[in-house]
Amino acid sequence: MKDQIIEASIRSLQQEGLRFSVDVLAEKLRISKKTVYKYFPTKEALAYAMYEKYYLDLNAKIQDMTRENENSLPEDLLCCYFDSAKMVRKEIFNKYCLNHVIGDFALQHHLDVWNTIKPYLCKKMTDYEAEIFKVIIDGAFERAIACNVNSAAVIGMLRKIK
């Protein structure tokens, strides 16, 4: 049940964003809110478990992608980074009053995702150009998430610019 709660929490946060709640989560899982808190006594405990699982799975997915080295690798890696960006929005940590330790934990993992995908996206760029590219991507993703724009559309436009 614990793993189901974590998985459902990740999906709900990704799909619902700031509308995510433990009440809705419990309803989706057809369990009581009390059952959620049996496994995770605080929302911080749930958030930590959720972010830990999310980044463990995301890193495994990225490793699999880079081993396969497909033609669509840059787009696929940007999709992973976009999904990660949705998970670390400041609004999420503010709304749910999550402590800075969880925020720092998630942000560090988000940065680690960038550092993992950077060599595949910025092969012919200088370090300065790669940093500017990251600024552009981060800005585009932040705005896309705020406006609820499809990640594929944003990534497609970024690839055309490049």
Q: What is the pLDDT of residues 24-40, one digit of tens each?
A: 889 889 999 899 999 99
Please, where are the H alpha helices in 17-89? Answer: 22-29, 33-39, 43-68, 73-87
Strand, coil or helix: 117:
helix
Q: What is the pLDDT of residues 102-133, one digit of tens each?
A: 888 899 999 999 999 999 999 899 999 999 99
d(CA 145, CA 142): 5
